[in-house]
Structure 1
Amino acid sequence: MRIGTWNLRLCPTSTSTSERGQAIAAWMDAQAVDVWLLTEVHRDWAPRDGHLVVSPRRSDDVECKRWAAIESKLPMSELTTGDSPHPGDEGLVLARLALDGTSVLVACSVLPWKGAAKYWNGLPPGQFDQWRFVLDHHVRRITAERRPGEALVWGGDLNQELTPPTWGGTRDGATTLRAAFEYLGLTALTQGLSHLNRLSHSIDHLAVSADVLAERVEVHRPTWADHKDLSDHAAYIADVWLPASAAGVTGVDSVGGA
């Protein structure tokens, strides 16, 4: 299974009205990724060969914009927010994939950055406390949805490096994020990889269950024809293998009838 994460920046559409969206979609399609964990995405982003599930409406009341989405060619079902909404829900989307008789839980997150409270209602004061508040909620949601023995893929724009120097996050954040991955039994495939700016480590991550095997992890910096960046984030792609021991529970109702 080929997985990837990319922050599309400013939620472009992939319709004929968006030249940038068309360029982004063309580059994505050329990567042959089975499951994309997308951030800063448009609600109406149209997968060319697959299905899309998006996080709940943002509290800044921009109806068409979403913090997180999962796009996949594989059969999948969306897992919706519970009856007691939490401010952190707008930064999380969950889906369950059906893959060769097994199930895989996929989670895409956006965690708060410095200044996030301007766009994101209900956060406590302080950059680290805001980030930790949403992180803890996402870990609880993932834990509650995960079935015994089920493989897990989690990633997105977590706004935190795993190793110093810290440019987008904090030292406490790096320690806390590593602990969250460990708690969920995940291996971070993006630890130590570079940011788009090549001056710090990535704040976008892909993490997989420890028994899922990663064959190759790639960093991409997609550009226009004139070599200007298509986004202010690099894209990260990995090829992973699910051994029999990672098999979860079957019986997934797929989006779009796939």
Structure 2
Amino acid sequence: MEFEFYYYGIFLLTGLVAGFIDAIAGGGGIITIPVLLASGMPPHIALATNKLQGTFGSGMASINFIRKGFISWSEVMIGVLYTFIGAALGTYAILLMDATILAKIIPAMLVGIFIYTLLSPKMGENDRHAYLGNHLFFLVFGIGLGFYDGFFGPGTGTFWTIALVSLLGLNLKKATAQTKVMNFTSNIVSLVVFLWSGNVLFAVGLLMGFGQIVGAYIGSNMVIKKEVKFIRTFFLIMVGLTLLKLIYSSYFA
């Protein structure tokens, strides 16, 4: 596909902002997918290209959290396994769907995620009692959220963080770190499937991936060093604006 020159600047900036937000609060895909679709990409290509660029951001954030000691491999390996399985199944499922159906479903799903994020309660900062055992938790959420990330994606990081805090009792920083490892797992699995299907736009994905690396590095360092209460408001404003554009393009243009 060919794009006007200014679109490449938009792609780069979108990757940077999404990488920054995703490293802190999750949900970077809820920004990148509307932008990719608004550029005129068919849904399958937009989702596939999003996985390429998102892999860079989740990979950089994961590396940064690992280097700073926020990841315990004994705690996350079972989650990586189940997320791998779920993401492979979800990505295969999306390839079987008709693109015109996807074009109508995606905006509706994004609206649901936006409303959920808007109304979701504030998450705690301290470790709490776990309501589920580690293996059962990752069996349910690894396969479930892995499938969702492979099938669609936006909001997965937010859902992971909420689940890890609410049901495993992790503090916010540790939950965010583990979320990035799970995101990277489902992203790389989905990317391999999409590469096999030939739906990835490399020029756009790699350009956005560069922005993701920069944004994720800055964002993950902010998680480690300080509180970022402003990010929820910033996140919702960005999502709301892109959703309005996408809904108008999909249903009224």
With the length of structure 2 as denominator, give the TM-score of the two structures: 0.29
Structure with more helix by fraction: 2
Structure with more strand by fraction: 1
With the length of structure 1 as denominator, give the TM-score of the two structures: 0.29
